[in-house]
Structure 1
Amino acid sequence: MANTSEQPTTDSHVAILAFPFGSHSPVLLDVTRRLASASPTTLFSFLNTAKSNSSLFLSDLPSNIRVHEVADGVSEGYVLSGRPHEAFELFIVAAPENFRKAVASAESDVGKKVTCLLTDAFFWFASDMAAEMKATWVAFWAAGPNSMTAHLYTDRIRDAIGVNEVDGCMEETLGFIPGMEKYRVKDTPDGVVVGNLDSAFSDTLHRMGLALPRADAVFVTSFEELDPTLTNNLKSEFKRFFSIGPLALLSSTSQTETPVQDPYNSLAWIKKQGTASVAYISFGTVMTPPPGELVAIAEGLESSNVPFVWSLKEKNMVQLPKGFLERTREQGIVVPWVPQVELLKHESTGVYVTHCGWNSMLESVSGGVPMICRPCIGDNGLNGRAVEVIWEIGMMIIGGVFTRDGFVKCLDQVLVQDDGKKMKSNVEKLREQAHQAVSAKGSSVENFKGLLDVVVSTLN
């Protein structure tokens, strides 16, 4: 159902096709807001599932953004079994037809043909849709240049490694791809050469990699200075490639500041702590380490005496050791949610213990905070590898999973030892480059202008 805000006079009508899982749709809505603000005479139709829309902040949208609902692919009466990727598979199978219907409805509502499809990169079928509609196709990749490169070159990687011999090649590096010389086969996401290559998820990513070179533009929320070799190579592969982040820094420099929501007073707590002394622990909204590792984290924190803020869903708090919360009441806090960007910017935060999702990692870089990485899914392995080996701004958890002693050693290495001081120095340099990228003449600001030109142009 579209919202009924008064419509702007416009030459361009942009349809935003959102992916309704994880952090994809919130980030894409943030970008849509920026585009709408920069081009107030352009109409933006934001197409997303009802469930995903309900989780977004839609009440204060600009008048030139209209919100529409897209069917989620789950038939009436169908009960999800809880199988991994089940909801995604149902959605993606039905997505081409459902989005076609939603785009037609959006066009009918305003009497204006769509001139640009701005879509999540997962939607490889948008290439054909845009061609049929004589519209521009702009694709948004919600992760970084490293994972995009892995999916773009999937066939080359499979040919070089051999999908049937991959077990013996896990430590080999991807030196035959520009910018991937220090990444290993074992770091690549499922669906490239490991995992079920015939699953709907793997098939979607493979098709995406083949389709993206046909897009009029592809963009990410990174900044060019973070991965210059990967960025330059992607510029050579795509018609246009734009890095427009980090979004966390763009939010902090926007003219319309909104009060920070902090329902559990984590910022008030951290303000009382020493400089660079606090361990902040969070694993995002999609995955959480298994119960045994949560216990190991708790035991490691308690035995280390390191001050901590732990963002942990209430349903997972029952996994904590008996009496842990009481015994560590003076040492730290465990809360269901924190204002992460603000917490990572605070001078008291000394290390971020993370799954190494792209957005979280960029927020840590933007705040100048070293990381301890425990990859869980998707691009996490590539990002963790970059943190430890390429940028040298943190380390992977010892042994790949949390143990009490391993976690204690990591905390000591980052917060106390000389290695940690080097990590801090390196991440501060990246933080400065990130801030420069979003300054008046910075690379991300100039790239955003280029993206805007492509999105709002009516010259197809």
Structure 2
Amino acid sequence: MESKVDKPHVIVLPYPIQGHINPMIQFSKRLASKGLKATLAITVFISNTMKPESSGSVQIDTISDGYDAGGLAASGGIQYYLPRLEAIGSKTLGELIIKHKKTSHPIDCIIYDAAMPWALDVAKQFGLQGAAFFTQMCAVNYIYYNVHHKLLNLPICSTPISIPGLPLLQPRDLPSFICSSEGSYIAYLGRVLNQFKNIDKADFILVNTFYKLENEAVDSMSKVYPLLTIGPTVPSVYLDKRVENDKAYGLDLIDFNSSTSSDWLSTKYPGSVIYVSFGSVTSLSSKQMEEIARGLNNSNFYFLWVVRASEEAKLPKGFKEESGEKGLIVNWSPQLDVLSNEAVGCFFSHCGWNSTTEALSLGVPMVAMPQWTDQTTVGKYIEDVWKVGVRVKIDDDSGIVNREEIESCIRQVMEGERGKEIKENAKKWRELALEAVGEGGTSDRNIDEFMSKLRRTT
């Protein structure tokens, strides 16, 4: 029998939404490919909805969030969901640890989403190692750290905002939870600030980024916490190809027909298509949907637009028919396959961190239209730091992005000297992403360091 020292067993516990599950399952695969035993712990609701099967590399197990029949949607709001997730999640995580204790591979370490700091308390209760995993970019984590420790006082009274290791920021560049008094935003702000309440007890702190992407932010935050950058967490086939059969994340909360998008793209010439997607959560107004539709049409480029079924009624009447062969509208798409298709010349995105790291890893230029949470800060970096895209400007009177602005931003990325510079920068960041996860790269070395320390302490 293989000994525990030879093959430590980690439970990987993501916050139960798609954007947090994806990077953590990818990290699980990377660990498994290097010789660790990894078990991904998802909620009963997600398990029942998706019916995932354990693979040869990553096993699947469950905890409960207290809403087994409906998940977050059944809770009545984030302010009700979080306390129950902590109470029931802590109890069932403990039961999971006990269950595995009776097997030949007991748990050695809990790798938990930093958004759920109570998991670290459970790990320590059972005498286990605990590793906090920050799914968002380091700059955003460091902003929250500064707010949590009152180094950045709220409300913001003067601008620009200066934080060591970050560019000068305006209020529109800060995570949206910081500048809003909306009730649900206050609950979310409490969640992200709570990431730091017991982190000094964590044995490891892992960040879903790579060093050269945010070297100044990483250096600044490393002065207060010993960070290990382990990203980008993108399926290996799109990067270094060192993880066998790693072609997709493997857990999708939405079913889709992958051939529809790829078949349509196969008829388009290289760099001619705008890919438009605002993720799995964002909900736009009907007026904003109309402005996007008109801006896309007016640009005269082909476009592939992902519009969730729940959002379709907001499209202008007759728009699908009006677009003809110029545009394809689908309810969902295999995003990595689309971004890696040579027909795609630009990604019109909400700036979710997963989507952004996918675009950076595949060298795709961007039009940034951030909506909330960390996306506003990511949008700032896309335009001003990494210079791989253009960020749209919101009309002060209407509060939306108008069609002329959308068309202009698309043209800036797709055409002319600025477009050429943006494309060259996008290629550079792809090369640096490949370097980070490649053998001996910064992220690869950090993962090896994590595993080495874990083996020595178990």
Q: Deviation of residue 266 (structure 1)?
A: 1.4
| 1:224-263 map, 5 Å | 224-249=211-236, 252=239, 253-254=241-242, 256-257=244-245, 263=258
Q: Is contact 1:115–1:458 with CA below 8 Å preserved after alignment? A: no
Matched, 1:124 2:107: no
Q: Deviation of residue 340 (structure 1)?
A: 1.1
C-alpha spacing 1:43/1:276, structure 2 compared with 1 (3 Å): closer
Matched, 1:101 2:87: no
C-alpha spacing 1:59/1:300, structure 2 compared with 1 (3 Å): same
Amino acid of the structure 2 residue aligned with 1:104? I
Secondary structure, in 3 states, of the residue corresponding to 2:164? coil
| 1:215-226 map, 5 Å | 215-226=202-213
In structure 2, C-alpha distance between the alignment counterparts of 1:43 and 1:341, rounded to whole Å = 27
| 1:146-161 map, 5 Å | 146-156=139-149, 158-161=150-153
Structure-1 residue corresponding to 2:305: 310
1:214-273 superposed Cα distances (whole Å, 9 cap, x missing partner): 322111232111111112223332234233324245655145347789534312322322
C-alpha spacing 1:349/1:241, structure 2 compared with 1 (3 Å): same
Q: State which of 49, 69, 77 in structure 1 corresponds to 2:43.
A: 49
| 1:362-373 map, 5 Å | 362-373=357-368
Q: Is contact 1:281–1:309 with CA below 8 Å preserved after alignment? A: yes
* Residues 298-307 or 254-263, more deviating: 254-263
| 1:15-164 map, 5 Å | 15-39=11-35, 42-54=36-48, 58-59=52-53, 61-62=55-56, 65-74=58-67, 80=74, 82-83=76-77, 86-108=80-102, 110=103, 113-156=106-149, 158-163=150-155
Q: Deviation of residue 93 (structure 1)?
A: 4.7
1:79-129 superposed Cα distances (whole Å, 9 cap, x missing partner): 937545544453245433332233233334x26543211111112123333
| 1:286-301 map, 5 Å | 286-301=281-296
In structure 2, C-alpha distance between the alignment counterparts of 1:183 and 1:360, rounded to whole Å = 22
Secondary structure, in 3 states, of the residue corresponding to 2:288? helix
Secondary structure, in 3 states, of the residue corresponding to 1:265? helix
* Residues 99-108 or 218-227, more deviating: 99-108
Gaps of 5+ in 2: 249-255
Q: State which of 147, 166, 169 in structure 2 corresponds to 1:183.
A: 169
C-alpha spacing 1:77/1:275, structure 2 compared with 1 (3 Å): closer
Q: Deviation of residue 426 (structure 1)?
A: 1.5
In structure 2, C-alpha distance between the alignment counterparts of 1:120 and 1:26, rounded to whole Å = 12
Structure-2 residue corresponding to 1:359: 354
Structure-2 residue corresponding to 1:395: 390
Q: Is contact 2:238–2:362 with CA below 8 Å preserved after alignment? A: no
In structure 1, C-alpha distance between the alignment counterparts of 2:181 and 2:95, rounded to whole Å = 33
Q: Deviation of residue 51 (structure 1)?
A: 2.0
In structure 2, C-alpha distance between the alignment counterparts of 1:458 and 1:346, rounded to whole Å = 43
Q: Deviation of residue 406 (structure 1)?
A: 1.6
| 1:411-430 map, 5 Å | 411-430=410-429
Q: Deviation of residue 292 (structure 1)?
A: 1.6
In structure 2, C-alpha distance between the alignment counterparts of 1:76 and 1:426, rounded to whole Å = 46
Secondary structure, in 3 states, of the residue corresponding to 2:206? strand
* Residues 189-198 or 376-385, more deviating: 189-198
In structure 2, C-alpha distance between the alignment counterparts of 1:76 and 1:50, rounded to whole Å = 8
Structure-1 residue corresponding to 2:272: 277
1:341-370 superposed Cα distances (whole Å, 9 cap, x missing partner): 122122221111111011100111112111
Matched, 1:207 2:205: no
Secondary structure, in 3 states, of the residue corresponding to 2:293? helix
> How many corresponding residue pairs?
442
In structure 2, C-alpha distance between the alignment counterparts of 1:94 and 1:25, rounded to whole Å = 19
Q: Is contact 1:353–1:372 with CA below 8 Å preserved after alignment? A: yes
Q: State which of 446, 456, 459 in structure 1 corresponds to 2:457.
A: 459
In structure 2, C-alpha distance between the alignment counterparts of 1:90 and 1:234, rounded to whole Å = 31
Amino acid of the structure 2 residue aligned with 1:208? Q
In structure 2, C-alpha distance between the alignment counterparts of 1:58 and 1:43, rounded to whole Å = 18
Amino acid of the structure 2 residue aligned with 1:365? L
Q: Is contact 1:372–1:397 with CA below 8 Å preserved after alignment? A: yes
C-alpha spacing 1:111/1:446, structure 2 compared with 1 (3 Å): closer
Gaps of 5+ in 1: 1-6
C-alpha spacing 1:237/1:406, structure 2 compared with 1 (3 Å): same
In structure 2, C-alpha distance between the alignment counterparts of 1:444 and 1:111, rounded to whole Å = 30
In structure 2, C-alpha distance between the alignment counterparts of 1:255 and 1:80, rounded to whole Å = 37
Q: Deviation of residue 279 (structure 1)?
A: 0.6
Amino acid of the structure 2 residue aligned with 1:448? I
Q: Deviation of residue 310 (structure 1)?
A: 0.7
In structure 1, C-alpha distance between the alignment counterparts of 2:258 and 2:129, rounded to whole Å = 42
Q: Deviation of residue 192 (structure 1)?
A: 4.0
In structure 2, C-alpha distance between the alignment counterparts of 1:67 and 1:248, rounded to whole Å = 18
C-alpha spacing 1:307/1:319, structure 2 compared with 1 (3 Å): same
**What is the CA RMSD across the aligned residues, in angstroms?**
2.9
In structure 2, C-alpha distance between the alignment counterparts of 1:159 and 1:436, rounded to whole Å = 34
1:31-70 superposed Cα distances (whole Å, 9 cap, x missing partner): 212212321xx5434322122234668435126x443221
Q: Deviation of residue 317 (structure 1)?
A: 1.8
In structure 2, C-alpha distance between the alignment counterparts of 1:438 and 1:55, rounded to whole Å = 32
